Structure 1
């Protein structure tokens, strides 16, 4: 199963969690404070209400730890597992006040991340047997990019560039602003480290030829029809087999296999992180099963 391997990201995620909790709590959880004794303790069972791929359990653990380090969080599955409706994915024990304060943020994050992981796995499964890498884009929720890109990896996909700073990606507006592909590539090449790659977005065979002529490292085929895409891949591989070919634009579960069959190396799908169904996950206090406390 997939493991939480963000290394030094824990500190950054904790800082975000503090901000998200402050947004939700404000001056205090007035309902819990006025209805439940402060010394009340409970066991909370977190379970899924529909099948899917789980992602975000380590994040939920961080949420409850930030709320109250004395809470005991026990994951019953691992990120990356496919679970059925009704599966208990975690149990949290401790102060009832603390459990209820952390409940919504923990669930919100897990639901969204599990939704992304579930959708990503669908696309990965559709590519089974084909030598193509599925990647995400920068079309993420502001403030959630680190977590959403993590969820893509949990689902079996890979990450494209993380931000504007870690790769040169010359798109249509850069081409217009620079005065053409050749001018844009040459200007970038003069200023970036020799270790950084340059990707160029193309929409026609003429642009593909121009991107090839000026030594692009990665050529994106954007919203191309299958026939044009096959021709573009053939030209690129014939003259520069080392160049990575990426397909993007309008990729769906219905079209991704045909796109992959054109011979591209990478397929980027923005919808992995901006258009997905959040998995339905719930938390119940002192849940019973078969007459016994869970």
Structure 2
């Protein structure tokens, strides 16, 4: 899957071929990837695949998940000039996209770490980039939430509108879905959360609740259903995430890790 992604990404840029290569002969060349802003590295795994496919050498000074500062040389590259010039934009786009997500994710992860709370991403990813973007959040310190509809059963508010009896539905689901699949129910208030506890949910998402409302759910969970995991979600930001981490939930999910990540600044310089 990763190799196909890299091939398609490069093909999108190269098209029928780099016109520069029609004019100048290829020569031995070297280049450096330079950080023009601080950040967290991500994308190394994908770029190593690109190097193998296009037959150039790359020596990394950082690895996925490691921090760097402005001015750092992240990698040294060598190969034919035609190859290095052909892969430049593809390499930088993958490194920039992933590192930018990892950089923002790490800011969130550092805030919740003292509270023992897991930071989760969401399915709010760009079309066809889910695997790549969720890889980037892992590099920044997050844990992936479900990859898709097929790896856990999540009953959202939209689903609840179609379910007459949640307890009966969950009982039926246990006999239909894989034995290892968890069932998570989204709750926007205490009453819905209470219903989900009693219906047998494995995880309850406290969606768009205030920290005070979540504390009430946590207290009820601790006193009656200690085995059930709690997740906070909904409009979580860098400014508010600590107040949610203090509530006693097991995890906090935020789509912002991906869709609010602004690109950092990296460049490739030929020697």
TM-score range, shorter chain: over 0.9
1:47 paired with 2:34, answer yes
- What are structure 1's unaligned runs of at least 5 residues? 1-11, 287-294
Name the CA distance, whole Å, in 1 between partners of 2:169 and 2:252: 24
Deviation, structure 1 residue 97: 0.8
Where does the alignment leave 5 or more consecutive residues of structure 2 unmatched? Answer: none
Alpha-carbon distance in 1 for matches of 2:79, 2:116: 48
Aligned to 1:146: 131
Contact 2:167/2:200, CA 8 A, preserved across alignment: no
Residue in structure 2 matched with residue 197 of structure 1 by the alignment: 182
TM-score by structure 2 length? 0.96
C-alpha displacement of 1:220: 0.4
After superposition, the CA RMSD in angstroms is: 1.4
* Structure 1 residue 195 displacement after superposition: 2.3
2-structure distance, mates of 1:250, 1:183? 31
**CA contact under 8 A between 2:193 and 2:204: conserved in structure 1?**
yes
Q: How many Å apart are 1:180 and its aligned residue?
A: 5.0
Structure 1 position 77 matched with structure 2 position 62 = yes
- Note if contact 1:52-1:84 (Cα within 8 Å) is conserved in structure 2: yes
Aligned runs of 1:185-224 on 2, under 5 Å?
185-224=170-209
Secondary structure, aligned partner of 2:106: helix
In the alignment, structure 1 residue 260 sits paired with structure 2 residue 257: no
Distance 2:196 2:106 in 1: 32
Contact 1:247 1:264 in 2 (8 A): yes
Shift of 1:190: 2.8
Equivalent pair of 1:174/1:184 in contact (CA under 8 Å): no
TM-score (norm 1): 0.88
SS of the residue corresponding to residue 205 of structure 2 reads: strand
